[in-house]
A and B are shown apart, each in its own frame.
Chain A
């Protein structure tokens, strides 16, 4: 059974940094693109970043470029999101998900981890 478990969320001050982790199990992790998606309180889904199977290809949403870095360790079946220069508007639940289908169809999602940026 596929499982994705995020960790690392918490409270951080504006301008600070935080790293999120997502541990994957139940599937051949190195065969799949992975993604991070976030959801601010009471708002819709917002894509953050994608990473390809070996980590050589990365895509970011414009508002995250230069501040967020996605990475993966296939030996540890994990994908990461390092966030810096955090702003109040980065407050959200961050989900990792597996890209299982064409055009970024996300077939499995983690439970999410909450990041709160305070001033």
Chain B
């Protein structure tokens, strides 16, 4: 069971918007930045969001991140079938001195 809690799955229709939550505590999300990763089937994870809300170059602005208190959220608008993937949140835990990942959320674009 992951310290960072994500919903196991979310789904939405093409063109719609979806949000994925990541819930933690004061020792991790509450006091550190959050990153989000996309893992397409059979590939390595790819950074989507860093420092809670920043997008690396090349990541479309359909992807957004936010953080409030001990929770973070990934938003994806204008859903495409190519967005079907597993999404993971990650951060540092200052008390455990470990890197944490959420359990992952499988996005299905219906």
Chain A complexes with chain B: yes
A residues apposed to B, CB below 8 Å: 35, 37, 44-47, 50, 59, 61-62, 95, 100-112
- List of A residues within 8 angstroms of B17 by Cβ: none
- In the complex, which residue of chain A has the Cβ closest to the Cβ of B102? A44
Contact partner, A50, options B34, B35, B86, B99, Cβ 8 Å: B99
Given the interface contacts A45-B45, A45-B88, A107-B47, does A102 sit within 8 Å of B104 by beta carbon?
Answer: no
28 contacts between A and B (CB under 8 A): A37-B101, A44-B88, A44-B101, A44-B102, A45-B39, A45-B45, A45-B90, A47-B98, A47-B99, A47-B101, A59-B97, A59-B99, A95-B44, A101-B35, A101-B51, A102-B32, A102-B50, A102-B51, A103-B33, A103-B91, A104-B90, A104-B91, A105-B33, A105-B90, A106-B35, A106-B45, A107-B47, A109-B46
- In the complex, which residue of chain B has the Cβ closest to the Cβ of A46? B101
- In the complex, which residue of chain A has the Cβ closest to the Cβ of B91? A103
Given contacts A104-B91, A107-B50, 19 further A-B contacts (CB under 8 A): A35-B99, A44-B101, A44-B102, A44-B104, A47-B100, A47-B101, A61-B99, A95-B45, A100-B50, A101-B54, A102-B32, A103-B32, A103-B34, A105-B50, A107-B47, A108-B47, A109-B44, A111-B44, A112-B44
- In the complex, which residue of chain A has the Cβ closest to the Cβ of B35? A105
B37 within 8 A of partner (CB) = yes
Interface size on B, residues (CB 8 A): 28
- List of A residues within 8 angstroms of B54 by Cβ: 101
Q: Which residues of B (22-47) have their CB < 8 Å from a CB of A?
A: 32-35, 37, 39, 44-47
* Chain B interface SS verdict (over half): strand
- List of B residues within 8 angstroms of A35 by Cβ: 99
Contact partner, A103, options B35, B45, B101, B103, Cβ 8 Å: B35
Within the assembled complex, what's the spacing in Å between the Cα atoms of A109 and B85? 17
